Amino acid sequence: MELSFPYDSVDISSDNSLLVILDQTQLPAKEVFLQLNEENEIFDAIYTLKVRGAPAIGIAAAFGLCVIMNREKSLNVNSFKTRTLEVISRLNSSRPTAVNLSWALMRMKKKVLSLLEFPDRTTDELLKCMFEEANAIKAEDVEMCGSISEYGLTLLKPGMGVLTHCNAGHLAVSRLGTALGPVYLAKDAGYNIRVYADETRPLLQGSRLTAFELMKYGIDVTLICDNMAYSVMDKGWIDIVFTGCDRIAKNGDVANKIGTAGLAVIAKNMGIPFYILGPSSSIDDNCICGDDIIIEERPSYEVTDLMFKSSVAPRGVKVYNPAFDITRSENITGIITEKGIYKYPYNF
């Protein structure tokens, strides 16, 4: 199953020397691709959300590690190992909540260490295997997103209204999407799905990214402010809610973009099905429940200044800016991974 998108939001150059990302901070005004190979700029690209979306972050980190170490292939094997572990640790600290980042980097670490169990390895051999592993991570994500989308499509019917939050589409993954993947398949099947996209304060991923990519694919999308979700549900315009996820605990609690938990409560009270869609790599076996998930808190200027020509708040006001919240498993109708549709109670 392939849909025609003009580009992937995260990729690697044909000569394996550059991480190539679509700078999502410049959307929707312009599509600018960055070519990166330095540790500081790759760390910055992840931290400042130039590349974002849990699966895309993991892929970017894996490719980023490879291109960084490609510049240091003249090191001897021991020094190369030490430097690789340093870079993995640094990149892993850039975004603490999205588990795909640490999942991909730990997979790369495991690969390197397993290779070093054999004597007489060269840095060229290590690099070759690292690039192969990073490419495998992306290829597997493409396949997982396809399967997630096909399972999600089984829940849609022609003419349905879908509410989504943040951005979990083509821009947030390797290709296609998680929460928006079924919508793309429904479009190609002639379902005429209507999407209502929360703007998603404070970084406006819904208005800048979700509305942008859906319009580009010719999908009927209506942008709403976050606090309008109840109103559109109350009018009967919403038949189902699809959102992505950044981390899933073993009991089915989910960390996703701030505002997701409130949507789940409203949807439950309104009798509207609420589904989380994400790859199984987002399931964290080390998290028993949502209380174990570290919630990233981001700078205050994102709330007061970042998206505005001038500050919309008095200087010096205290700001609380968590990037994510925890949606409790009992408020989630189902969690869709590439392995199927899971229903409450969850036990991953």
pLDDT of 1 over the 80 cut: no
- Residue 118's pLDDT is 85
In a domain, 203, yes or no: yes
CATH number at residue 274: 3.40.50.10470
Q: Give 278's Cβ-side CA count (13 Å radius).
A: 30
Distance CA 323, CA 163 (A): 20
In a domain, 194, yes or no: yes
Residues of the domain holding 39: 10-146
| Same domain, residue pair 60 and 105 | yes
How is 257-296 classified by DSSP, letter by letter?
A: ETTHHHHHHHHHHHT--EEEE--GGGB-TT-SSGGGSPPP
Domain termination site, one of 105, 123, 146: 146
Distance CA 219, CA 315 (A): 40
| Same domain, residue pair 132 and 167 | no
Nearest by Cα to 298 from 46, 120, 124: 46
| C-beta of residue 214 within 8 angstroms of C-beta of residue 184 | no
CB atoms within 10 A of CB 324: 26
Model pTM? 0.94
* 62: its two tokens: 């894996």
**Per-residue pLDDT tens for 80-95?**
999 999 999 999 999 9
Q: Render the burial of 104-127: b for 16+ CB within 10 Å, e for the rest.
A: bbebbbebbeebeeeeebebeebb
- Residue 37's pLDDT is 95
- Count of structural domains, the chain: 2
In a domain, 329, yes or no: yes
Confidence of residue 347 (pLDDT cuts 50, 70, 90): confident
Considering the chain, what percentage of its residues have pLDDT values greater than 70? 99
| Same domain, residue pair 162 and 95 | no
E strands, the chain, where? Answer: 10-12, 19-22, 33-36, 161-164, 194-198, 220-224, 240-243, 247-248, 254-257, 274-277, 324-327, 334-337, 340-343
| Same domain, residue pair 219 and 295 | yes
| Same domain, residue pair 172 and 191 | yes
- Residue 6's pLDDT is 85
| Same domain, residue pair 310 and 165 | yes
In a domain, 2, yes or no: no
**Per-residue pLDDT tens for 262-291?**
999 999 999 999 999 999 999 999 999 999
| Same domain, residue pair 63 and 163 | no
| Same domain, residue pair 59 and 193 | no
Confidence of residue 97 (pLDDT cuts 50, 70, 90): confident
| Helix axes of 77-92 and 54-70: crossing angle, nearest 10 degrees | 150
Nearest by Cα to 282 from 322, 229, 342, 330: 342
How is 167-185 classified by DSSP, letter by letter?
A: --SGGGSSSS-SSSHHHHH
Distance CA 205, CA 198 (A): 9
| C-beta of residue 253 within 8 angstroms of C-beta of residue 264 | no
Q: How far is CA 197 from the centre of its chain?
A: 16
| Same domain, residue pair 54 and 202 | no
Mean confidence (pLDDT) of the chain: 95
| Same domain, residue pair 320 and 185 | yes
| C-beta of residue 91 within 8 angstroms of C-beta of residue 46 | yes
Q: How far is CA 210 from the centre of its chain?
A: 12
Q: What are phi and psi of 104, to 5 degrees?
A: -65, -40
In a domain, 348, yes or no: no
| C-beta of residue 284 within 8 angstroms of C-beta of residue 259 | no
In a domain, 76, yes or no: yes
Domain termination site, one of 146, 173, 207: 146
**Per-residue pLDDT tens for 121-163?**
999 999 999 999 999 999 999 999 999 999 999 999 999 999 9
- Residue 120's pLDDT is 87
CATH number at residue 68: 1.20.120.420
pLDDT of 2 over the 90 cut: no
| Same domain, residue pair 199 and 77 | no
Distance CA 47, CA 61 (A): 11
Confidence of residue 237 (pLDDT cuts 50, 70, 90): very high
Average pLDDT (313-342) is 97
**Which residue among 11, 198, 246, 284 is the active-site one?**
246
Average pLDDT (232-254) is 97
Domain termination site, one of 146, 168, 190: 146
Confidence of residue 3 (pLDDT cuts 50, 70, 90): low
pLDDT of 4 over the 80 cut: no
**220 is annotated as an active-site residue:** no
pLDDT of 5 over the 90 cut: no
- Strand-pair partners of 243: 276
